[in-house]
Amino acid sequence: MLAMKILQHDKVLFVGDSITDCMRRRPVGTGGGLGLGYVAMFHAWVKLKRPDLALDVINMGVSGNTIRLMADRWQTDVLSFQPDVLFILIGVNDVWIRYGCEGDLASTSLAEEYLKLYDQLLCRTVPAVRQICLMTPYIIPNQTNAAMYQELLPYMQGVKTLGQQFHLPVIDLQNVMEKLLSDGIEPELISLDGVHPNILGRMAITEAVLRETELIGR
């Protein structure tokens, strides 16, 4: 398992879709404008428990993002900030929009193109950012989204493969969510629509990020 290390005064940037965005401030989510999701919860934990780190946390998630839309803004939304640490969570909209979720159908990518674009972004970014962590897309499986779940599987596996290729840590959020289900937690307490996390789901993602950065024990 590849270890991450958060250093004092690090600039930590999160990028992705609505799971990351979660009503952040525009144009840049910082300080009190980090939104209501796991990014804000991560920032709050660090402020409370590790104020000595004095991290600069930035949320550049954009609701509706697909890999293609995110790539189009990569220079502006990511590289221009020169982050020390970067977390990436993208992919569910590339599948979900094809199953009726509101969004730009033309911006979606099948798994092969998704992984090609993701690979290109990492080739540009790995030399410029000290630490990068990938997070798999996920879905809370139920009787109504079985087909979407199956279609999302190669996206999840592809992110893990990219992590191996680039020697980057990967947080398997599908495993995180399925662990909650196996513990007997009702799906609607995790997410009402199977994708956007409720407070419990956000807490689970936050905990996974804290564990990956070794801010709390694994």
Annotation marks residue 107 as catalytic: no
Work out the pLDDT band at 26, boundaries 50, 70, 90. Answer: very high
Q: Which of 23, 186, 181, 146 is nearest to 173 (CA)?
A: 181
Annotation marks residue 9 as catalytic: no
pLDDT tens digits for range 41-76: 999 999 999 999 999 999 999 999 999 999 999 999
Pseudo-torsion of CA 31, 36, 42, 46, nearest 10°? 50
Annotation marks residue 10 as catalytic: no
The answer to whether 70 touches 25, Cβ cutoff 8 Å, is: no
pLDDT of residue 218: 64
pLDDT of residue 144: 79
Residue 96: pLDDT over 80: yes
Residue 143: pLDDT over 80: no
Active-site option among 84, 107, 119, 196: 196
Please enumerate in sequence order all residues whose Cβ is within 8 A of that of 95, keeping only pairs 6 or more positions apart, or say none: 108, 137, 148, 151, 152, 155
pLDDT tens digits for range 164-196: 999 999 999 999 999 999 999 999 999 999 999
Residue 101: pLDDT over 80: no
Residue 3: pLDDT over 80: no
Tell me whether strands 29-30 and 56-59 are parallel, antiparallel or unpaired: antiparallel
- pTM for the model stands at 0.96
Cα–Cα distance, 197 to 209 (Å, whole number)? 15
pLDDT of residue 104: 81
The β-bridge partners of 58 are: 13, 30
Active-site option among 17, 18, 43, 94: 18
Active-site option among 72, 80, 104, 193: 193
